[in-house]
Amino acid sequence: MSTLSHQLNLPSYLDANKLGAWDMYLQQVERVTPYLGTLARWVDTLKRPKRMLIVDVPIHLDDGSIAHFEGYRVQHNLSRGPGKGGVRFHQDVTLSEVMALSAWMSVKNAAVNVPFGGAKGGIRLNPHHYSKGELERITRRYTSEIGIIIGPSKDIPAPDVNTNEQVMAWMMDTYSMNQGGTATGVVTGKPVDLGGSLGRREATGRGVFTVGVEAAQHMGLSIQGARLAVQGLGNVGGTAAKLFGEAGALLIAAQDHGGAVLKDTGLDIPALLAHVAAHGTVADFAGGDPIDPDNFWDVNCDILIPAALEGQITADNANRIQAKLILEGANGPTTPQADDILGDKGVVIVPDVIANAGGVTVSYFEWVQDFSSFFWSEDEINARLVRIMREAFDTVWQTAKTQGTTLRTATFIVACTRILNAREQRGLYP
């Protein structure tokens, strides 16, 4: 049994030997604890989610049969404000994964200093196996089941893996019907016609690009002509690739669940993104040479963006990576062991909790706009996003320099200090 997992006194239904992402998070907390000073007395607050809800989601399938799905909503920490975090639909979703993702949301929100705590949700299913009508019924039943703990001032869900604006519209409508009045602020990432924010769809990828440019400048790495490799060409990886391409970088390799392609002189990014939109994968893209997906990690590049799922960069492939700069577009893509290997090689890693915080930052803008019923232009939103991301990154960079740590530990120092300061100032009730 993992020592860190055992310290949490986990409930019997959690297998402490299969905690995965949650154990990664606990190791990250252990690494930051020596830098917390007197606030370290509160550090167990970070190791124990405030609230975990497991729900049964039964629906009628199109063929008339009844199916049951398991859903989760975890609120990790609410000291700095209402919970904030996405909902994912995926066949491998587990409670321990959602716990980790909610904890990383606590850190992420504090790192960019938006007034939210951390939360996350998920339903264990492969959405590609169900019709639109079935997905709507699953979403609405799940929303009703977790309705007791969400709300505009309690916990605000958002899109995540395999969820989108339509899913958020269903969630908003279901919550509103149960409340007896329209509550646009209960979710973010909604369609613009329902109170969504301009710029939200590209916000996470734009944030990755923004901090990537800042990191490259600090490193003396020119974006013009930089060789880029991206894992995952969805909203995050695709947007980041597009923006880096417009800034003069060359996308030489792309990989996802379906395959990988390589072109040493640079892939045609708009054509590749159009192919992914049409086929759901980079596989069979005519403008590049197919390679074994595992060989993606051997590509000679300057900047690597893992923008798929957690646990992609491990002790098994870290030594093969040739990038100078890694921008974590996904949540938890690098294990602590891989972190150490890459650090010893001199690779700069901009961690997920700062690199992909653009999405939650614009979600904050959407939440504010919904409360005021006054909406900003896309240029205003992008300018505010860039300013916040730059300020947050500069704070992390200076902290890393002062403390002599990696950017990941520095981000945790900044974020955990803010969270635990709030916890200490609020005190314990009763």
pLDDT below 70 — which residues of the chain? 1-19
The pLDDT value given to residue 6: 47
Closest listed residue to residue 50, CA positions, set 80, 86, 93: 80
CB atoms within 10 A of CB 198: 20
CATH 3.40.50.720 fits 203-355, yes or no: yes
Output the 3-class SS for 209-248: HHHHHHHHHHHCCCCCCCEEEEECCCHHHHHHHHHHHHCC
Q: In the numeric block, which tokens belong to residue 350? A: 């901009």
* Catalytic member of 47, 84, 108, 120: 120
Closest listed residue to residue 356, CA positions, set 403, 279, 411, 296: 411
The pLDDT value given to residue 161: 87
212/392 Cα distance (integer angstroms): 13
401/407 Cα distance (integer angstroms): 9
Helix (H, G, I), strand (E, B), or coil: what is residue 55? strand
Specify the pairing of strand 325-327 against strand 303-306: parallel
Give CATH for domain 49-182: 3.40.50.10860
The pLDDT value given to residue 425: 97
Is 190 part of the annotated catalytic residue set?
Answer: no
317/314 Cα distance (integer angstroms): 6
**pLDDT tens track for 153-181:** 999 999 998 999 999 999 999 999 999 99
Helix (H, G, I), strand (E, B), or coil: what is residue 269? helix
Q: Residue 294 corresponds to which amino acid?
A: D
Rg (CA), the chain: 21
Burial class of residue 128, CB neighbours in 10 A (0-12, 13-18, 19+)? exposed
User: Domains of the chain: which residue ranges?
Assistant: 49-182, 203-355
- Decide if 49-182 and 203-355 have a common fold: yes
- DSSP for 383-430 reads HHHHHHHHHHHHHHHHHHHHHT--HHHHHHHHHHHHHHHHHHHH----
The pLDDT value given to residue 371: 92
